């Protein structure tokens, strides 16, 4: 009898404790004593996007350190859970499913690889996990399809429209477009054709290359035969080198305008033997860059982020690769504004430009999301064009 009474007493005590453990602390969340877990697609060997992936990881780790130093996300310590998928979409999806089966993360981040974003977006949506997508695909910029997903990179529309002032300033009339076959690159190609035509320019050729190919001569030759005044191209990593060397091999002296993917490629911002700086391959190239990629001593938020990142690891390529830092700060700002770490509440807060403007972000000073679009509607002057030069710590003209 005494044993039975003791058991009932223990159960009663447990019943009294449970409500206290599960009491809401921040607008409905019952996780006040648990870390805020952000899962990120990671690894160390991702082929042509390895440098981008490694820098994205460094940026995210620095963002986590910065937010934790400020008290975490609504008092919860932030922990980064790195998926060793090497930007392989199949492996990334498998790792995400396995983690959800164990314990659902509070948020998910893709720092490199639009194909990874395409693979994981549906399962994140289904499981109501906040998704910060540095890789940028159309679906995750549409709140009707993915209400908890946000694109961090400048939309392809903004990147493409950034070319128009260059066309006008240089008197270019006939435009050639060369792009890869990733999800982002395909979108870039389609938009380039429609935007340039819509602005009154003659798009004389649009060529797509296989990013796994080692030679783009065939596509370049086809473009050359069309006779463009300038070639706009998209490439990241080794493919950028193959494009540039292919044009040199053909002896074609056409002006080249590389997009933000090209400017993020260390190959075009490093000297031999590692890079191509100073070589004939870059003679006719100009790079589309963000303001944060050009060093400015007065840009406090950017310089603070660079210091935080370089204390952890290398910034390979430009600041375009460091969106993971901003992602962590945006999540923290959203949670603070909403007084909640529930995904729906944070997503709602991110739609308020005053929240993103106050986040202290580094790559872009603000991320103007809205209830109608989860792509940041950045102004056209977000980007400019620069001559290829050495990028140190993610920036041109940066002090060594």
pLDDT for residue 380: 77
Cβ contact 40:46 at 8 Å = no
Res 18: pLDDT: 29
Task: Name the strands in the sheet holding 174-179, side by side, starting at the edge strand that comes first in the sequence.
Answer: 202-208, 174-179, 230-233, 256-258, 285-290, 383-386
- Prediction pTM value: 0.81
Q: Strand 36-41's sheet: what is its strand order?
A: 78-83, 36-41, 107-110, 130-133, 149-151
Distances (CA, A) of 188 to 59, 177, 228: 25, 10, 18
DSSP symbol at 294: B
Distances (CA, A) of 315 to 58, 59, 87, 363: 7, 8, 18, 13
Domains assigned to the chain: 36-154+299-379 (3.40.50.2300), 158-293+385-396 (3.40.50.2300)
* pLDDT tens digits, 354-370: 999 999 999 999 999 99
Give the model's pLDDT for residue 98. 98
Per-residue model confidence (pLDDT) at position 30: 55
Per-residue pLDDT, 398: 60
Question: Has residue 24 got a pLDDT over 70?
Answer: no
Residue 65 has pLDDT above 50, yes or no: yes
Q: Which two tokens stand for residue 59?
A: 């940026």
Higher local confidence (pLDDT), 374 or 398: 374
Average model confidence (pLDDT) for the chain? 90
125 has pLDDT over 60? yes
Question: Does the structure show a pLDDT above 50 at 154?
Answer: yes
Whether pLDDT at 159 is above 70: yes
**Predicted local confidence at residue 132, as pLDDT:** 98
| 278-295 pLDDT tens trace | 999 999 999 999 889 999
Measured from the Cβ of residue 4, the count of other Cβ atoms closer than 10 Å reads 8
């Amino acid at each position: 009898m005494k044993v039975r009474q003791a058991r009932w007493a223990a159960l009663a005590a447990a019943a009294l404790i449970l409500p206290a453990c599960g009491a809401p602390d921040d607008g409905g969340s019952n996780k006040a004593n648990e870390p805020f877990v952000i899962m990120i697609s990671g690894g160390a060997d991702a082929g042509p996007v390895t440098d981008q992936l490694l820098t994205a990881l460094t940026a995210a780790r620095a963002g986590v350190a910065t937010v934790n130093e400020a008290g975490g996300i609504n008092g919860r310590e932030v922990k980064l859970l790195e998926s060793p998928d090497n930007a392989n979409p199949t492996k990334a999806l498998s790792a995400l499913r396995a983690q959800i089966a164990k314990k659902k993360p509070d948020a998910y981040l893709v720092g490199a690889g639009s194909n990874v974003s395409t693979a994981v977006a549906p399962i994140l949506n289904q499981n109501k996990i906040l998704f910060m997508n540095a890789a940028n695909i159309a679906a995750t910029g549409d709140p009707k399809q993915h209400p908890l997903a946000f694109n961090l990179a400048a939309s392809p529309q903004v990147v493409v429209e950034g070319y128009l002032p260059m066309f006008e300033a240089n008197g270019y009339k006939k435009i050639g477009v060369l792009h890869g076959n990733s999800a982002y690159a395909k979108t870039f190609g389609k938009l380039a054709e429609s935007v340039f035509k819509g602005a009154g320019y003659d798009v004389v050729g649009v060529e797509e290359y296989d990013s796994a190919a080692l030679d783009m001569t065939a596509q370049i030759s086809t473009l050359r035969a069309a006779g463009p005044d300038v070639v706009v191209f998209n490439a990241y990593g080794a493919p950028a080198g193959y494009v540039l060397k292919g044009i040199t091999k053909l002896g074609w002296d056409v002006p080249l305008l590389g997009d933000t993917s090209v400017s993020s490629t260390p190959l075009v911002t490093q000297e031999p033997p590692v890079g191509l700086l100073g070589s004939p391959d870059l003679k006719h190239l100009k790079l589309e860059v963000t303001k944060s990629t050009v060093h400015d001593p007065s840009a406090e938020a950017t310089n603070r982020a660079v210091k935080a990142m370089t204390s952890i690891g290398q910034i390979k390529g430009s600041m375009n690769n460091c969106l993971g830092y901003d992602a962590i700060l945006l999540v923290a700002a959203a949670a603070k504004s909403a007084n909640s770490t529930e995904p729906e509440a944070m997503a709602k807060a991110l739609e308020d430009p005053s929240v993103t403007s106050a986040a202290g972000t580094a790559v872009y000073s603000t991320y103007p999301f809205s209830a109608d679009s989860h792509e940041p509607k950045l102004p056209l002057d977000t980007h400019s064009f620069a001559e290829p030069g050495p990028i140190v710590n993610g920036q041109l003209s940066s002090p060594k």
